[in-house]
Structure 1
Amino acid sequence: MSTPPAAQRRPRRDAVENRADILAAATDLISRDPHASVDAIARSAGLTRRALYGHFDDRDALVHAVIAVGAQRFNAIADTIDDPDPRVALARLASLLWREASHVQVAASIALDEAHVHETADALAPVRRRVAEIVRAGQDDGSLRTDVAAPTLARLVEETARAVITRMDASSSEARSLAVRAVLSIAGLSWTESATLLGEHPDLVEEV
């Protein structure tokens, strides 16, 4: 009896798990060292170098996959941000990105590698567009600072979020709140205005 075509195409469970383990290991190691070796990644995943190459042709292919996975998560988050108040929208985006700290860290590390900087920028284009839209809306209604051009402010917000998330201990109970406040500060809110906003929207910094 022949094997049904659908079954032939379906990856074995252990193969799917191995690939997921490799991507998780690569995300973890590259977030700390953008030049982490294939051997180190394979060992961290509990696999041999040969097993890793069974899923990815070379290190570049693995890095491409890591970038793609992170970008999918970031862009999916950006798509959920629909708060009418630009201040809340920025705060929510920063808060949700905090949950993806490991992917933010790996994106930051990979972006330092000139071989992948353009790929990383292209993959994150949707989330960057969303930040720019939020900033423009905030400048138009006066809720965000207007002394800086919208494209520049959007980039400052992006860099602030990335810098804070990649440099703080994600296990800290205050870390998410500090990350959100940093983004709001660069966007033009005073610390008292940020405190008031977060008091009105406690869900933005609640631990999940």
Structure 2
Amino acid sequence: MTTTAEPRRQRRDAAENRAGILAAARRALAADPHASIDEIARAAGLSRRALYGHFDDRGALVRELVRSGAQRFNAVAARIDETDARLALARLAAELWREAAHVRLAAALALDEAHLEETAAALAPLRRTVAAIVRSGQEAETLRADITAPALARLIEETARMVVTRADPSSAVGGIAVRAVLSMAGLSWQDVDALMRAHPALLSTSASEREEPRS
């Protein structure tokens, strides 16, 4: 039992140390996308050598952050099942806003030319979801059709990314993300207001608050 327990404890400690490094890296890179490996190590309370015991280099660390962040974003996209494209986009924007700290980091990393390709690949499921919503909305004539579906999907992505990287995620202005996305999708501000009034749970912050009232 002793010989089995020791390796398990070491693996657990290693996993906790790795998680601590990733958490420190998220904080450091959210503040400065170009933070050095030394700055990240200091944020984690480790030496550079100790950090290299878990990651080969800064690139490996960033790739892991992109991968883990993308999993959260893709999980959000997988939960969107509304048939109305307008409501689907609104819920997607609102849910991503709730992941604001992680979204901000991923967006900052995506702006780094060295990681554009891997970020795009990691977020492929989310991007497919946006594209599918846009296509369905154009077919139903509820979203603007003066722009091709791929181009509109990309504009919506860029609009959402701009909002989450420019606004304070701790503020109570999550509606900005929803409004910006729906406006880019072709809705008037009056239509956006009506949608948000009909679905107040879009901007709630807890699971219980997000439950739609039953008729």
TM over 0.5: yes
Q: Look up the match of 1:123.
A: 122
Residue 115 of structure 1 aligns to a residue whose secondary structure is: helix
Alignment coverage as a number of residue pairs: 206
- Secondary structure (helix, strand or coil) at the match of 1:203 reads helix
Q: Which amino acid aligns with 2:97?
A: W
Per the alignment, residue 175 of structure 2 pairs with 177
Shift of 1:34: 2.0
Given residue 100 of structure 2, which amino acid in structure 1 is its aligned partner?
Answer: A
Instruction: Return closer, same or farther for 1:21/1:177 CA change in 2, 3 Å cut-off.
Output: same
Q: What is the alpha-carbon distance in structure 2 between the residues aligned to residue 75 and residue 25 of structure 1?
A: 23
In the alignment, does 2:107 pair up with 1:108? yes
Q: Which of 204, 209, 214 pairs up with 1:206?
A: 204
TM-score (norm 1): 0.92
Letter in 2 for 1:109: A
1:71 alignment counterpart: 70
Q: Distance in 2 between matches of 1:36 and 1:163?
A: 21
Q: Which runs of structure 1 show a deviation greater than 6 angstroms over 4 or more consecutive aligned residues?
A: none
Q: Is the 8 A contact 2:85 2:134 kept in 1?
A: yes
The alignment-based identity, stated in percent, is 63
The CA distance in 2 between the partners of 1:167 and 1:180, in whole Å, is 14
* CA distance in 2 between partners of 1:112 and 1:165 (Å): 13
Q: Give secondary structure in 2 for the equivalent of 1:169.
A: coil
The answer to whether the Cα contact below 8 Å between 1:32 and 1:109 also exists between their aligned partners in 2 is no
Shift of 1:19: 1.3
Matched, 1:3 2:3: yes
What is the DSSP-based 3-state SS (H/G/I as helix, E as strand, rest coil) of the residue aligned with 1:3?
helix
Stretch of structure 1 that moved more, 35-44 or 46-55 = 46-55
The equivalences for 1:21-100 within 5 A come to 21-100=20-99
Q: Alpha-carbon deviations, 1:19-66, whole Å to 9, x = none?
A: 112111212222232221111111112222222112111111101101
